[in-house]
Amino acid sequence: MAVRIDEYSDCKSTEELTSQHRVTIGLQLQRLTKNLPSSGKSVLKLRGAWDFWQLWYFRAVDGDPLPWELQRRIALIADEEWSKGPERIADLIREIEDQLRPNAPQEELAKASRRAAEHAVRTELAAVGLAEQIDASVAEYLAATGQNCLPDEFAALDDLPRVLRRLGRDLHAAEDREAKLQRDIAELHAQIVRLETDLKLALSKTLSGRFSAGFWDQAGKSLGSWQLWSAVVAGGFYLLTTPTLSQPVEGIATTCQQLFPKSGVAVPPDLPPTVEL
């Protein structure tokens, strides 16, 4: 997570800053796993109630941690619930995941994941290519402005590349490929919904629906470039594939046409009016 250092200039040290913005779940995990060492079993090889913790561990090792809000809510599970064992915690985690999951119908996710698997090469190229385009545009913006993080309205662009690259990797998964692809597409949909929401909020804050000349001087060739937003729209439509899942992509395209009038992001044309004869 990027940090605006000037916003935390009153902190005495890195340790103090870190301690103020950390959610620790180590003690709860120690309680859940205290009987495992004597049994010779590894949490990383168990299934069932331990599935989430395996995912949590490997995502953290890969530098692609689970969504912060999910981890925060798990850390806030009451102590008395942790004492009831891993099965109870697994049930509560599933409830939290259901609460945070965007309203993407399961049948739509299944359809999109099947299409991704059937066209694995094209899907991987689309996902990884979009991740590369986003990374390049973000890096160009940071270099041009001297900032160490994106404006809040574009924060979703920080998370999208990790989701896209994981989708590309999971296309080659030897086990549980369909389940992994559905999870990846659900998370991609959630990030696209977040981006659409943030861009619409940015539109409501701008003067006459457009960014200032100062913004264009700094970001017109990066965050405001037609290459970036055309790639987001085209890649989003291809990867989310169904009309229901791709609806927020159309919202992004429409909003970008207002925010970035120079970008020329294409949207599906309006149909001509009909006349009954």
pLDDT tens by residue, 93-135: 888 877 776 566 888 999 999 999 999 999 999 999 999 999 9
> In this predicted model, what pLDDT tens digit does every residue of 192-224 receive, in sequence order?
988 988 888 777 655 544 555 566 666 667 888
Q: How far is CA 126 from the centre of its chain?
A: 16
Say if residue 12's pLDDT is above 50. no
Please check whether residues 85 and 113 belong to one and the same domain: no
Please check whether residues 35 and 58 belong to one and the same domain: yes
Amino acid making up residue 84: K
Least confident of 39-53, 121-135, 209-223, 259-273: 259-273
Please check whether residues 117 and 248 belong to one and the same domain: yes
Residues paired with residue 207 on neighbouring β-strands, in sequence order: 210
Please check whether residues 92 and 219 belong to one and the same domain: no
pLDDT of residue 271: 40
Residue at 6 is within a domain: no
pLDDT of residue 117: 94
Contacts (Cβ under 8 Å, ≥6 apart) of 244 = 104, 105, 108
pTM for this one? 0.61
> Quick check: 85 and 35 in contact, CB under 8 A?
no
Residue at 200 is within a domain: yes
Q: Show the domain range for 116.
A: 106-259
| H helical segments located in 5-154 | 14-20, 26-33, 36-39, 51-61, 68-75, 79-82, 86-100, 106-118, 120-145
Please check whether residues 246 and 149 belong to one and the same domain: yes
**Confidence category of residue 26, pLDDT binned at 50, 70, 90:** low
Contacts (Cβ under 8 Å, ≥6 apart) of 203 = 209, 255, 258, 259
Residue at 77 is within a domain: yes
